Amino acid sequence: MTQCASHYQTLEVSPHATQTEIKEAYRRLVKQYHPDSFNCEANHEKIVELNTAYEVIRDPQRRRIYDRQLQKSQSYNSTQRQQRTTAAQNSYHQEQRSRKAADAHLKRWHKEVYVPVNRLIGKILQPLDSRIKDLAADPFDDSLMADFQAYLTESRQYLTKAQQTFTAQPNPAKVASVAANLYYCLDRIGDGLDELDWFTMNYDDRYLHTGKELFRIASRLQQDAQGIVQS
């Protein structure tokens, strides 16, 4: 905000100027700005400002009152500037602390949530094709089916651990989209395991195909999350 000029500034004199100096400055400026002077700087509003300023500081008593008011105003403005400076510094330091805290949270989340959850997801998704291939040799072989069921049981244990790890701490806002992909990935894995469980009970290939499709979707969601982290 632009501050109004003081009467001393208007008359182009020092606050310590003598009455003689003030009078001489006033006459010089009136001559310079007077409309009848035919000067290119002639300005009626400037003359009004000069008259107002001179009327105040040419009178010793009015000048003393004005000086006290001016001093208070300058002190107040200085205090305001100090307060604004302090507030700006505090805001900057708070922002720095918040940024450091956010960075630390992000690193901790990546190390304690993102990495272990991805590792557990991999233990579930990666073996599926080879497990189905082994079972395809003879789905009605009890030994092969038992191995497949053992894989599903182990996968549920991995899924439970991944879900617990994922919900152990809130995700940083910066990686909200990553967390969303992981959340839906885990959800699709759970649905896929349900479908595969049904297949082991009734040998209906529809459940097997649906389970594989849900795992494929889960794999894509995991890849999407990884792509965001690496970008």
What is the reported pLDDT for 1? 36
How big is the chain, counted in residues?
Answer: 231
- Annotate 187-205 with b (16+ C-beta within 10 A) or e (fewer): bbbbbbbebbebbbeeeee
Give the three-class secondary structure for 171. coil
Query: Which token pair is 64?
Result: 């003393």
Residue 140: its pLDDT value, please?
A: 93
Residues 18-32: what's their mean pLDDT? 91
Q: Residue 181 has which token pair?
A: 């992909």
H or E element: which one contains 170? none
| Residue 38 confidence class, pLDDT cut points 50, 70, 90 | low
- CA-based angle 174:177:179, to the nearest 5? 90
pLDDT digits (tens, 9 = 90+) for 77-124: 777 788 887 888 888 778 888 789 888 999 999 999 999 999 999 999
Degrees to nearest 5, angle at CA 140 with 209 and 123: 50
Integer angstrom CA distances of residue 15 from 7, 11, 216, 223: 9, 10, 83, 73
Structure confidence by residue, pLDDT tens digits, 136-176: 999 999 999 999 999 999 999 999 999 999 999 999 988 99
